[in-house]
Amino acid sequence: QERKLLPCNKSEIIGILETLAICGILETPEHKGYIDSFTPPLMRDTGNLKQSLSYPLNWWHGENKVNYNNCYKIFNIDFSYLSEK
């Protein structure tokens, strides 16, 4: 039996990830979240329009890692020790 990390469906997981990307927690150097500035829709590099993820999550990959500084700004919790693992 498959165990879930979070008790939700795929659509809800995508919503959580897109929210973290919009907040700048899941971002790339070229495609930032909106914690410091907003990117108007016509200025966004949306990439492949056939993909289903929203900007900026559509650019994020695991190798981009998590922006723990923005985690701290939003949640006021220091998660930086996780970046050492």
Residue 2 lies in a domain: no
Residue-wise pLDDT for 37-52, tens only, equals 888 877 877 777 667 7
Structural domain tally of the chain?
Answer: 1
What is the pLDDT at residue 50?
65
Residues of the chain falling short of pLDDT 50: none
Residue 44 lies in a domain: yes
Residue 66 lies in a domain: yes
Q: Name every residue whose Cβ is closer than 8 Å to that of residue 83 and which is 6 or more positions away in sequence.
A: 65, 66, 68
Residue 4 lies in a domain: no
N-term to C-term CA, the chain = 28
What is the pLDDT at residue 25?
96
Residue 36 lies in a domain: yes
Determine if the peptide bond prior to 56 is cis (ω within 30°).
Answer: yes
Could you tell me the pTM of the whole model? 0.81
Domain that holds residue 18: 10-84
What is the pLDDT at residue 48?
72
Q: Name every residue whose Cβ is closer than 8 Å to that of residue 32 and which is 6 or more positions away in sequence.
A: 24, 39, 56
Residue 5 lies in a domain: no
Residue 71 lies in a domain: yes
